[in-house]
Amino acid sequence: MAKPETMTINMGPQHPATHGVLRIELDLEGETIIDARPIIGYLHTGIEKNMEAKTYTQALTMTDRMDYLAPMSNNLVYVGAIEKLMEVEVPPRAEYVRVIMTELTRLASHLVWLGTHAIDIGAMSMLLYCFREREKIVQMYEFVSGVRMMSSYFRVGGLAQDIPPGFDKRVKDILGTFPAKIAEYEGLLTNNRIWRNRTIGVGTISAEAAIDAGLSGPNLRGSGVAWDIRKSNPYSYYDRFEFDIPTGKNGDVYDRYKVRLEEMRQSLRIIGQAVGGIPEGPYITTDRKIALPPKNEVLQGMEQLIHQFKIVVHGFTPPKGDVYFAIESPKGEIGCYLVSDGTKKPYRVHFRPPSFVNISALPKLVIGRMVADVIACIGSIDIVLGEIDR
């Protein structure tokens, strides 16, 4: 009998599991995995260094391109960091709209996750169903900002422009149809024998190992740790809305799937509470050193004209200092560490990407399992390569 030897195979940067350009080197003995080394960097864009060369508002457009499945989350964390540094008051109308758009973003991101995860495991029609629902949310993006994906809708102090009339009616239409769709997905997958065989017991990680590895978001909650930044350090009026934090028990792929499905339902709950009572008022802060004045005042008043000129040509300048601001993005804790030296361009911006830290825990999930489980585990961690490589 020949002794089994170790074979190293390469799941190269181009492979059909649609998660982007991720390369994994697997050491196999037969079909059992002994070691897995994820290799990243094939999409490195130098976003952090490029943002140092642009003013604060110009750099906001680059944050969309990091986690491109949840662009408004990235906008929120960057804008929130600047607002924390400058101690800016955001008006209530803007905060309500921010909550609604961020929760719609969470829905969109989880839909893409479900579609691609299911098609990797073999349920091909889920991709088409999920993209069909995502079209409704992407059309909401286009309704408020004009762009389907990279909207850059948030500004320091509020929103880029006011919501058009008919916004709450369209959101309520979405709320009316979505619960039935989520029930449809559950009916297709949750009690499906093939799905359960491929996901229960696969990719287990305990709560201590998950905290040690830095996992956050649904990956940590699937192992039983009930930590959600929206509840623990609330930002942007989340403490006014009621919602639950779903957790799992075993920390396997099936539990993470259930956690994310339940999160979609809780997002609908939050949106339902917010859209019922959007307050009237300004959509951006009235501090004219930061936000543009309304156009009709600019055309008539001298002081407003000067404010507009200074903000557009020069930009606002935060005080010196550094802050760290973190929010709960659909993938975990995303944080922005911002250093300002008192000029109109950021001195140093660093984003703490959840997918970067989550994918570093992949070896712990797959060692000892078979090759096919690697695909299920990558899908359940829910990575976005644009965020990992920045």
- Which positions from 251 through 310 interact with another protein, judged by CB under 8 A? none
Smallest separation, CB 40 to another protein (Å)? 7
Closer residue to another protein, CB minimum distance, 26 or 86: 86
Smallest separation, CB 167 to another protein (Å)? 22
- Which positions from 193 through 232 interact with another protein, judged by CB under 8 A? 209, 211-214, 216, 225, 227, 232
Closer residue to another protein, CB minimum distance, 63 or 304: 63
Residue 16 touches another protein, criterion: CB under 8 A: yes
Question: Which residue is associated with the tokens 């956050």?
Answer: 216
Using CB under 8 A as the criterion, what x/- string covers residues 356-385 for binding another protein? xx--xx-----------------------x
Helix (H) or strand (E) holding 384: none
Using the rule CB under 8 A, give the single segment among 44-52, 171-179, 244-252, 368-376 that binds another protein: 44-52
Residue 35 touches another protein, criterion: CB under 8 A: no
Binding-site member from 42, 143, 167, 237 for another protein (CB under 8 A): 42
Binding-site member from 324, 342, 367, 372 for another protein (CB under 8 A): 324
Binding-site member from 172, 249, 347, 367 for another protein (CB under 8 A): 347
| b/e per residue 344-374 (b: at least 16 CB within 10 A) | bbbeebebbbbbbbbbebbbbbbeebeeebb
Binding-site member from 156, 326, 374, 383 for another protein (CB under 8 A): 326
**Token digits for 359?**
């994918």
Q: How far is CA 41 from CA 110, 126, 197, 254, in A?
A: 24, 30, 33, 29
**Dist CA 362 CA 47 (whole Å):** 25
Nearest alpha-carbon partner for 57 in 200, 154, 169, 138? 154
Residue 112 touches another protein, criterion: CB under 8 A: yes
Cβ atoms within 10 Å, residue 26: 18
Q: Is 317 helix (H, G, I), strand (E, B) or coil?
A: coil
Using the rule CB under 8 A, give the single segment among 14-22, 89-97, 186-194, 245-253 that binds another protein: 14-22
Residue 175 touches another protein, criterion: CB under 8 A: no
Torsion of the alpha carbons at 286, 290, 294 and 298, rounded to the nearest 10: 120
Smallest separation, CB 297 to another protein (Å)? 32
Task: Give Dmax over CA atoms of the chain in angstroms.
Answer: 91
Binding-site member from 72, 85, 163, 274 for another protein (CB under 8 A): 85
Residue 337 touches another protein, criterion: CB under 8 A: yes
Cβ atoms within 10 Å, residue 212: 12
Question: Which residue is associated with the tokens 């969309």?
Answer: 64
Residue 333 touches another protein, criterion: CB under 8 A: yes
**Dist CA 52 CA 48 (whole Å):** 7
Q: Kindly state the number of chain residues that form the binding site for another protein, as judged by CB under 8 A.
A: 71
Binding-site member from 335, 365, 373, 377 for another protein (CB under 8 A): 335
Residue 174 touches another protein, criterion: CB under 8 A: no
Binding-site member from 34, 35, 43, 272 for another protein (CB under 8 A): 43
Binding-site member from 34, 272, 348, 371 for another protein (CB under 8 A): 348
Helix (H) or strand (E) holding 337: strand 332-340
Residue 350 touches another protein, criterion: CB under 8 A: yes
Q: Is 216 helix (H, G, I), strand (E, B) or coil?
A: coil
**Sheet order of strands, 348-352 included:** 321-329, 332-340, 348-352
